[in-house]
Amino acid sequence: MSVANYETVGQRAAELIAKADRILVVSHIAPDGDAIGSMLALGHILRQLGKTNVTLACDDGVPDKLAFLPGATAVVTSVSGSFDLVIVVDCSDERRGGGVFRAAAVGRPLVINIDHHITNTDFGDVNIVQPDTVATTEILFLLAAAWGVTLDKDTAQCLLTGLVTDTLCFRTANATAGVMRIVTDLMQAGADLSSITSRTVNRRSYDAICYWGRLLQSIDLVDGVVSVRTSSNDHAVNGDASVVTLLITAEEADMAASFVETDDGQVEVSLRAKPGFDVAQIAFKLRGGGHSAAAGCTVDGSLDQVADQVLAMMKRARREQACA
């Protein structure tokens, strides 16, 4: 999207923000660095715009490894009362906003939806959805510029965290020269790249590594799709482990999947694709979402039933995409 478009849609968002007294910022359940980075950065930006009544909420709170981010202690996990405006960041649909979004929606507030998932459902009154950006924090960087906000060190640190985590530290295919220019601007504003990488992409718990070991016992590679599945899951470390990010590095694979059975008859599915392949549409068909290279969904059913169904969809999509 061009700068002119950012100014138009950013202007509409700025008008809603200017009129609002009570603002709620929501990011997605099971939050990652972009979800928390976006929520905290937007909190700092809103305060610079003169907003004094801003609540930051996420059902699952701030993961320990992101607690170093400035402002993280202000995040709440439930909300009460009414809001004039809810700004939802890094969520492809309302369900991703979890219980805090559902609770706030009862009062019918205006909703601004700021996101970069290709599968976004445009659920807001104002939708700032940019699938060509690497992270929601990239959109916030551009919006802050359109709003005339000068980035301070804390805001820059939160914005850079989203860029680092969603690009696996600039290893994804969408890490362009333009993105690296934003990185430079953020570092000049005071963001500390080394502290972010050492606390996020270069770090996981010992338990998460042991969990990898257990999951990898089920590894399977068929028709260019590599996968693992488990019913003896460890939810405390599952998000931290992100074993699928390791699987997609297999030279022989174009797509990767992990299947983790929950205690309530569902399977959490994480999907990855090499450049030139797309797993977002598979996740979307299963009521999930994501990006062409990384997507996910939660599907009702038993482990083997869901895994077999999704793997069949992936193999068909891979064949079609290889021919396209």
Site for ligand AMP, rule CB under 6 A: 92, 96, 117, 242, 244, 270, 288-291, 294-298
Residue nearest to Mn ion as judged by C-beta position: 34
Whole-number Å distance between alpha carbons of 129 and 123: 10
Closer to ligand AMP at the Cβ: 189 or 260?
260
Contacts of 198 (CB under 8 A, 6+ apart): none
Q: What's the rounded Cα separation, in Å, for the pair 294 and 239? A: 14
The residue within the footprint of Mn ion, chosen from 166, 261, 268, 278 (CB under 5 A), is 166
In 3D space, the residue among 282, 231, 230, 229 whose CA is nearest the CA of residue 254 turns out to be 282
| Cβ-based nearer residue to ligand AMP, 69 or 297 | 297
Q: How far is the CB of 285 from ligand AMP (least distance, A)?
A: 12
- Output 20 or 133, the one with its CB closest to ligand AMP: 133
Closest residue to ligand AMP, judged by C-beta, is: 296
Q: How far is the CB of 34 from Mn ion (least distance, A)?
A: 3
Burial 145-165 (b: 16+ CB within 10 A, else e): bbbebebeebbbbbbbbbbbb
The alpha-carbon radius of gyration of the chain (Å, integer) is 19
Q: Does 35 bind Mn ion (CB under 5 A)?
A: yes
Number of chain residues interacting with Mn ion (CB under 5 A): 7
Using CA of residue 184, residue 189, residue 194, residue 195, what is the dihedral sign? Answer: negative
Contact between 290 and 255 under an 8 Å Cβ cutoff? The reply is: no
Residue 138 near Mn ion by CB under 5 A: no
Question: Is 38 or 155 the residue whose CB approaches Mn ion more closely?
Answer: 38
Regarding 93 and contact with Mn ion (CB under 5 A), the answer is no
Measured N-to-C along each axis, helices 153-166 and 33-48 cross at an angle, to the nearest 10 degrees, of 160
Q: Which does 63 bind (CB under 5 to 8 A by kind): ligand AMP, Mn ion, none?
A: none
Binding-site partner at residue 20 among Mn ion, ligand AMP, none, CB < 5 to 8 Å by type: none
Contacts with Mn ion by CB under 5 A lie at: 32, 34-35, 90, 135-136, 166
